[in-house]
Amino acid sequence: MKHFYDGDGTDGRLNNLEVSIVPGFQIAPHVHDNASELFYVVSGSGEFLDDTEWRPIGKGMAFKAPQGMTHAIRNTGDETLILFSTFSPPIR
């Protein structure tokens, strides 16, 4: 992960980072109790777990995981999946 902005650099409003997932790997299902997470797919393809349903994602798509929702991301393609992830409010 590569961090671009943190809560200190945004007056406590958000943090933003780049996430890379190699083919065949995933970010396991998890929940953020105190923040929503917004995503933008820079390159690659995969699937996003939206509570109980896996949905396809690809380059140029944006999607979100509202506060308290179980979510995960897996790379189902043959190239590295790169996303921008933004949390509001920021998490540490």
Per-residue pLDDT tens over the stretch 55-84: 999 999 999 999 999 999 999 999 999 999
How confident is the model at residue 90, as a pLDDT? 78
18/91: higher pLDDT: 18
The token duo for 23 is 């083919």
What is the chain's mean pLDDT, rounded?
A: 91
What is the pTM (predicted TM-score) of this model? 0.88
What is the domain range of residue 28?
Answer: 2-88
The percentage of the chain sitting over the pLDDT mark of 90, rounded to a whole number, equals 76
Beginning with the edge strand found earlier in the chain, give each strand of the sheet holding 81-88 in spatial order. 2-5, 15-21, 81-88, 36-43, 62-65
How confident is the model at residue 13, as a pLDDT? 73
Q: CATH number of the domain that 64 lies in? A: 2.60.120.10
Total tally of structural domains belonging to the chain: 1
